[in-house]
Amino acid sequence: MRPPWKVEVQILPSLQGCNLLGQCRSNCRGANICPSFVGRKIYIFSFGTIKNADSCKAVGVFLCLLVLPLLSGYLVAAENLDSNSDDIIVNNNTAYFHPFETRDQNLFNLIHGQALPTNARLNKKSQSWWSTSLITTNTLNIQSNNNENIYLDYEAYRFNLAYQYGLDENWNIKFDIPLIHQSGGIFDSSIDKWHDFFGLPRGQRPITEHNQYDVQYDLSSQSLVDLNEDNTALGDIQIAIARSVIENKTTTMSLWASVKLPTGDKDKLSGNGATDFSAWAAINHQLNNNWRVNLNAGAVALGDDTYQDIPLSDYALYGHVMLAWLVTENINLKVQLQGHSSYYDKSQLDILSDTYFLTFGTAIKINNCQQLDFAISEDIKVDSSPDISLLISWRSYTSHC
């Protein structure tokens, strides 16, 4: 299947006074991005869609979230640093660039091979770290159209064990092993009160019985997914390999590829029963002495055409931008914007469409080798991802820290 987008790159002599935003057109016919750099080569990325508005919508999530920061980070890395970088006190503490290890917690999207956000800075030779994270998700989504019905009422606990090891100075390998528990949970009342207190949409919560577990999907009056009993299952294990390509005073870039193995149970929504492949770029950039940026941009190729007879997309685009503020040497605040295109491109339901959401929280440095993350995710595109997710993550380096 031909991708609904194309990319062209031109390298021109230096330009002056070029307006970055002014060159970006959002009418889905294309976008030219011209950075305002003087005395340097200019990389102009041209993006264009070649299908209909639905394809434009899918690609738009990827472009709007990722292209501008990805381009700016890449340019800084590819060229010599500008004169202002001499004023930056370089701090190569890897922990400052770690993104929150979370993604869209919709059970129907979580089963596919999208990788967790990664740090662009790789471990040195023989250096390794372990990470354990627990994400608690609570949501109630009831949607329907002429052909589809979906009912999602669940509380899920996703425990992930990750290990990353430096094969040498340029290559790393990483393993992610998830364990998933799905149930009716205990937080329905608290979440409803949270939404009510802050004036957020409460949806169907006030009229729905609390602490139920009910996951259903119907297509053309045929029930394809029907789960109503609590369950615990191993998720799909993911193995990734990374190559460091750029590392200078303030910018790091690495390229990643992964394979997701069908170790989960597709009948319990802990896996999709297929082998998926993913590839992405990760960039870190130190903006100044107190601000850090981490971003990822990639694509996942799905290993099957259907999940439980639900038609799937051939691929999906995904990524994030994370901004970190170093409040003190041991505490930093982070905000992370994430998104992905639809895994179910034939579905007209919002909960199965393109999505973007916001995660915000703090990272606490326990010592030079250990860090704790606490974060909350909220669905800023309402009804296209779970209502709320809570993350706690612990990371520990075993050496060279």
Domains of the chain by start residue, with CATH: 5-85 (no CATH), 93-397 (2.40.160.40)
Residue 176 near residue 236, CB atoms below 8 Å: no
Residue 90 phi, psi (nearest 5): -75, 130
Other C-beta atoms lying within 10 Å of the C-beta of residue 201: 10
3-state secondary structure 305-357: CEECCEECCCEEEEEEEEEEEECCCCEEEEEEEEEECCCCCCCCCHHHCCEEE
- pLDDT given at position 92: 59
User: With left for phi above 0 and alpha for psi between -120 and 50, is residue 176 left, alpha or beta?
Assistant: beta
- pLDDT given at position 379: 87
CA-CA-CA-CA torsion sign (390, 177, 258, 302)? negative
- Nearest-CA neighbor of 383 among 182, 169, 145? 145
Q: Look at the chain and count its residues.
A: 401
Mean pLDDT in each 10-residue stretch from start to end of the chain (401 residues)?
42 39 38 38 37 41 45 44 52 80 97 97 95 95 95 96 96 98 89 78 78 95 96 98 95 97 97 98 95 97 97 98 95 97 96 96 93 94 90 90 71
Tracing tokens 């190559």 back to the chain, one arrives at 243
- pLDDT given at position 48: 37
